[in-house]
Amino acid sequence: MTEGDPIRLILAFALPLFLGNVFQMFYNMADAAIVGRFLGPQALAAVGAAGPGYNLFTMVISGFAGGASVVVAQAFGSGDQGSMRRAYSTSMLLLVLSGAAVTGLGFALTRPLLLILRTPEDVLPGCLTYLRWMCAGVLATCLYNGTASILRAIGNSVTPLAALVVSSLLNIVLDWLFVVPLGMGIAGAAAATLLSQLASGLYCLIYIRLRLPAFRIPAGQWRLHRAELRETVRLGLPAALSTAVVTFSVMLIQRAVNAWGSTVMAAYTASNRAENICMCLSYSMGLATGVFAAQNAGARQYGRVKAGLRAGLKISLVYHAAIAVLMWFTAPWLMALFTEDREVVAIGVEVVRICAVFAPVLGTLFIFQNFLRSVSDVFPTILMSGAEILCRGLLPFALSSAFGYYGIWWATPAGWTLSLLIGAARTASGRWRRILDEHSAASGSPPAVPEPPPDSRPLSR
């Protein structure tokens, strides 16, 4: 990504990510649709209530995977294959150790966490079952997150797509098999998801081993390397904390939702699935812009870093303006995919339409968040997450006391808006460039490539 037109490169990288997210949404939909239709609204509510808890347990995994991706992308941009290999070894071992710790903590803390969230008694048993199964398979999640982040860091978004296609199709088949003919209930839905994740992780791992010599490490040479470990943790820990803060804020909203019973919980769960269908390009565009920024930051081409940011913002705004209209008008149909309960559908339509209005805000937020992390300016991303938890922690309870459960749905868009303002202001300040220069000087890297004059146009291939 260090040569060529930024818009074309970002789109070419984001499209496989987008398709992968579509397939991922399909198997999330399969979970929700099969559970909701064959096991009922209470089971659907249980699966939804377990989601924030599982995300909280796996926050460190996603953070370290993101940190490793930035380290590898910057090394790839600078052409340092030794650093790439060391970062790969370090990140995979770090994820395995983290995954083992998360599994133990997950089993110990599952019930207390659900009680803190005031999970209703009719939903609690199913939620416990689902969450404990998911915690048991955390290492499968580690395997896919780690290998996919490495591949995306070097610009390969096609192989993770192929892995997700295989995983999604397998998940749909296993979902139906475990839940309907075998009668495994909620545990069957969780087992299907875990086996599918394991398949996608093995697919990426085998590809790296066979096709990428730069990452081929002999069995006896896997180890944690100090410099790469320090940088991965420096970049990944703030990302993990940001994820934890956002996840905790989602848990606060879930607690507010739980107080209204299983019908509102089921509507909230189904509406989240419906939103994800429409917003799956949001994350892809943010990640593509981040990888573009990281590779060019590694190559010290700061002019292209800013050009990539502008390209990502343009694409994101156009997409989200269109998707907002689509979400608004298709909300009833989207909700009907998950349940036939009219009350659940009616409540869920309200949630989807509020999200539709703020879709451009969320898309732009993803761009700034990934950009700042990829240029090593990680502290503002923690502040952005703090803004989200501030809004999600206070507004659901304040607004629901005045407007009922309808008031809860406005807390998340308010958090998006405040977080976006922080990210935009920090990016405009230019502080990220000074941070990159400081890291460049400390590591002895070559100076940045001078930017072209404002009236010149970069050549593209």
CA distances 284 to 21, 158, 296, 380, 432, Å, are 8, 13, 18, 21, 22
Residue 377 DSSP label = -
Q: In terms of Cα–Cα distance, which of 365, 378, 40 is closest to 232?
A: 378
Residue listed under structure tokens 């090593």 = 376
Looking at residue 297, its pLDDT comes to 87
Q: What is the mean pLDDT of the chain?
A: 82
Predicted structure pTM score: 0.71
Tell me the DSSP string of 426-459.
Answer: HHHHTHHHHHHHHHHHHHTPPPPPPPPPTT----
* Total Cβ atoms within 10 A of residue 456: 9
Residue 155 DSSP label = T
Q: Which two tokens stand for residue 282?
A: 């949001």
- Maximal C-alpha separation, the chain: 67
User: How far apart, in whole angstroms, are the C-alpha atoms of residue 413 and residue 391?
Assistant: 9
Looking at residue 439, its pLDDT comes to 67
Q: In terms of Cα–Cα distance, which of 50, 26, 33 is closest to 265?
A: 50
Q: How far is C-alpha 262 from the chain's CA centre?
A: 27
Which residues of the chain fall below pLDDT 50?
A: 446-461
Residues 71 and 296 sit within 8 Å (Cβ to Cβ): no
DSSP count for the chain of H helices, then E strands? 16, 0
What is the dihedral sign for C-alpha 84, 86, 87, 93?
positive
Sequence-distant (6+) residues with CB within 8 A of 182 are 188
Backbone angles phi, psi at 241, to 5 degrees: -65, -40
Looking at residue 354, its pLDDT comes to 87
